């Protein structure tokens, strides 16, 4: 007796194409998620570098007028480098400053550094 297997190969091909497309969509989703994470990490690294930069500037410049002038330039750089980037600093003690840098990338993020100045 001969069985009638007409169309069975087509069903196998359709199932394998469906599984392949599912796997490729999962990989695409993973890639998109990884890119978003990398972009977020990049902004955090930029913010860390900006905090280090400004803390070194505070150590070098002791006069209040020079610090304010450089702070305006630094804050302008923050606006260009980070999405909605804005920095602030306060001198809390004779030789201690607090620097805060905030930005918005999908949610509010900020870093704070307490440095000698």
Q: What is the pLDDT of residues 70-114, one digit of tens each?
A: 999 999 999 999 999 999 999 988 889 999 999 998 899 999 999
Contact 57, 72 (CB under 8 A): no
Confidence of residue 1 (pLDDT cuts 50, 70, 90): low
pTM of the model: 0.76
Q: What percent of the chain has a predicted confidence (pLDDT) above 90? A: 76
Judged by DSSP in three states, 63 sits in coil
Predicted confidence at residue 5, as pLDDT, reads 67
Contact 89, 98 (CB under 8 A): yes
**How confident is the prediction for the chain on average, in pLDDT?**
91
Residue 103, strand partner residues:
109
Predicted confidence at residue 70, as pLDDT, reads 95
Predicted confidence at residue 110, as pLDDT, reads 94
Judged by DSSP in three states, 61 sits in coil
Answer yes or no: is pLDDT of 57 > 60: yes
């Amino acid at each position: 007796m001969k069985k009638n297997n007409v169309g069975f190969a087509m069903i196998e091909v359709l199932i394998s194409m469906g599984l392949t497309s599912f796997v490729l969509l999962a990989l695409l989703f993973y890639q998109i998620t990884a890119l978003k994470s990398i972009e977020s990490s990049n902004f955090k690294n930029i913010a860390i570098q900006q905090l280090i930069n400004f803390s070194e500037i505070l150590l070098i410049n002791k006069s209040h007028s020079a610090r304010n002038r450089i702070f305006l330039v630094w804050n302008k750089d923050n606006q260009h480098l980070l999405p909605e980037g804005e920095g602030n600093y306060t001198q809390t003690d004779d030789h201690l400053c607090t620097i805060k840098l905030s930005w918005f990338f999908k949610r509010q993020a900020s870093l704070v550094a307490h440095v000698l100045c």
